[in-house]
Structure 1
Amino acid sequence: MKKGMLTLCCLGLLALGGTPSAALAALQTKEVDYRDGGVTMKGYLAWDDAVPGKRPGMLVVHEWWGLNDYARTRARMLAELGYTALAVDMYGGGKVAGHPDDAGKFAAEVTKNLDLMTARFTAALELLKKQPTVDPARIGAIGYCFGGAVVLNMVRQGGLAGVASFHGSLASVRPPGQGGVKARVLVMNGGADRFITPEQIGAFTAEMAKAGAGFRFINYAGAKHSFTNPDAGSFAKKFGLDLAYDAAADRQSWDEMSRFFRELFGK
């Protein structure tokens, strides 16, 4: 492109309120295969190739449905914030449930086996660390529902700078010892989530305090389980589940998460 034409293009973009760098920004995505033992896992990478150099990496752990378009969307949203994001596959083979019965079975296979959970999460973590755009010393993770439980259990095992859980289970498969959590933890919970009891919240906060974690627990008043998922209402109607999308809580929790990692990684 000739210099004059490039100048005109940039001036036109500026007239629309953009910047020359925005014109060159390009969100990149690709499906990636990786292995956990003999199982092929199907991941999804997203990054902005206009961001210079290495940047923090973020793992996105899906809801109990599996690695679906919702998890991919969240990975792209993180890439738009300047991270390299990997939406992970915790079930293997890119398996996605179409019914709560199947979702429950898939999730239980992982949550009832900490060694399997750790192996599959670690396989994704190692893949993310090897990406040329990622600073392997700055890795975080976010998770939704089942994925929230996964990232909270993984931060208890170490190896992450910080995690954020959206409407995730709080139960600990293997509680950490005194001072055992070095990372920062953000939990965003629906105040009307019937799957999370006050007793569970109390036990979790006591556990985090004992483990020495820098943590914050936020309740969004009136928000039900799956409050970040725009499809929650259709799932509720189709399967008789106590779920509901809450646009305000979705927006507020995403902003809270964005601020949390921006402060953590200094970006």
Structure 2
Amino acid sequence: MKHCLLLCILLFSTCVQAVLHEENVDYKAGETTLKGYLVWDDAKGDKQPGVLVVHEWWGLNDYARHRARMLADLGFTALAVDMYGEGKNTDHPNDAAKFMSSVLKQADLAKLRFLAAKDLLASQPSVDAGKIAAIGYCFGGATVLNMARMGVDLAAVVSFHGNLATKTPAQPGQVKAQILVLNGANDNFVTADSITQFEHEMKQAGAKYQFINYPNAMHGFTNSDADRLGKTNNMPLAYNAEADKQSWTAMQALFKAVFKQ
């Protein structure tokens, strides 16, 4: 009976320790209010590496929050950022295109909003401000790549099925972050030419990078909701469980290396 009681206490203690802290956080970039989602597990340590999670073109939705929670489970403090303002998100591609265009058509707006999120994350008590990385999906993948190209001080960036094209290629010696690109070999939005150009750009810039192509994986391969979104909107999207698993493992390997964990 005593052993049973002790086991119950230990199990209860473990469950309590594993509870994630979650906060909806408001912050500003210029005059725009941004609404992010912050999550961490203080049982993982006092000063954790921080990871910014940049959403797909749909906006800051449950998928981006889900990935932030997965990062918190691994021992990171994660901030799912809001690149559109006021937490806007949608399931409709026309709205998503408008949201994305509103950011991209204004010079340096994406960087302004990204840096506002980075500053917020770095200021958190649970975060080691010298250890910040960023991951992104689709639009978010392109965003974190562009932040690396512009020399933003990050330990690493990881792009999941993000666009590779850019109007502002990295210059020699400018890239500080280690770069990991996780791409679906059957992604209709990423051409063979854009891959060749990206790799040439990275080599010319002297960047540390890795490019992984997952066979039979289409755009959105990490998102379990991609099949529904693709069918509803007549878009070439599809979830691929194996590529999802392998890409998440590749991200963890990079973080282990750059954060010395």
TM over 0.5: yes
| Amino acid paired to 1:152 | L
Provide closer, same or farther for how the CA distance between residues 6 and 139 of structure 1 changes in structure 2, counting only shifts above 3 A. farther
- Identity, in percent, stands at 56
Aligned mates of 1:76, 1:235 — CA distance in 2: 22
Partner of 2:8: 9
Aligned to 2:257: 263
Gaps of 5+ in 2: none
Residues 191 and 220 of structure 1 are in contact (CA less than 8 Å); yes or no, is this contact kept in structure 2?
A: yes
* CA displacement at 1:6 relative to structure 2: 7.6
Equivalences for residues 111-260 of structure 1 within 5 A: 111-158=104-151, 159-260=153-254
Are the structure 2 counterparts of residues 73 and 131 from structure 1 closer, same or farther at C-alpha, using a change threshold of 3 Å? same
Q: Retained in 2: the 8 A contact 1:182–1:212?
A: no
Residues 45, 75 of structure 2: 8 Å contact kept: no
Per the TM alignment, residue 51 of structure 1 is displaced from its structure 2 partner at its CA by 1.8
Which amino acid is the alignment partner of residue 132 of structure 1? Answer: P
Q: Return the letter of the residue paired with 1:139.
A: I
Farther-moved stretch of structure 1 (94-103 vs 39-48)? 94-103
User: Counterpart in 1 of 2:79?
Assistant: 86
Distance in structure 2 (CA, Å) of the matches to 1:187 and 1:225: 13
Question: Shift of the alpha carbon at 1:263?
Answer: 1.2
What is the CA-CA distance between 1:38 and the residue it aligns to? Answer: 1.0
CA pair 6-171 structure 1, distance change in 2 beyond 3 A: farther
One-letter code of the match for 2:56? E
Distance 1:26 1:140 in 2: 23
Deviating beyond 3 angstroms after TM superposition, the runs of 4 or more aligned structure 1 residues are 3-8, 19-23
Instruction: Say how many residue pairs are matched.
Output: 259
Matched residue type, 2:191: T
Q: Which amino acid aligns with 2:18?
A: A
- Asked if 1:108 corresponds to 2:101, the answer is yes
Question: Does the 8 Å CA contact 2:58/2:96 hold for their aligned counterparts?
Answer: yes
The alpha-carbon deviation at position 111 of structure 1 amounts to: 2.6
Amino acid at match of 2:200: A
Residue 19 of structure 2 aligns with which residue? 26
Q: Residues of 2 paired with 1:70 and 1:9: CA distance?
A: 34
Which deviates the most, 171-180 or 38-47?
Answer: 171-180
Cα displacement (A) at 1:178 = 1.3
Query: Residue 16 of structure 1 corresponds to which residue in structure 2?
Result: none
Per-residue Cα deviation, 1:219-248 (whole angstroms, up to 9, x for no partner): 000100000011111111111001100011
- Give the Cα–Cα distance (whole angstroms) in 2 for the partners of residues 74 and 238 of structure 1: 23
1:156-188 CA-partner distances (Å, limit 9, x unpaired): 122111100000011123222112112100000
Alpha-carbon spacing, 1:10–1:233, altered in 2? closer, same or farther (3 Å): same
Partner amino acid for 2:214? Y
Write the distance in 2 (CA, Å) between the matches of 1:25 and 1:245. Answer: 29
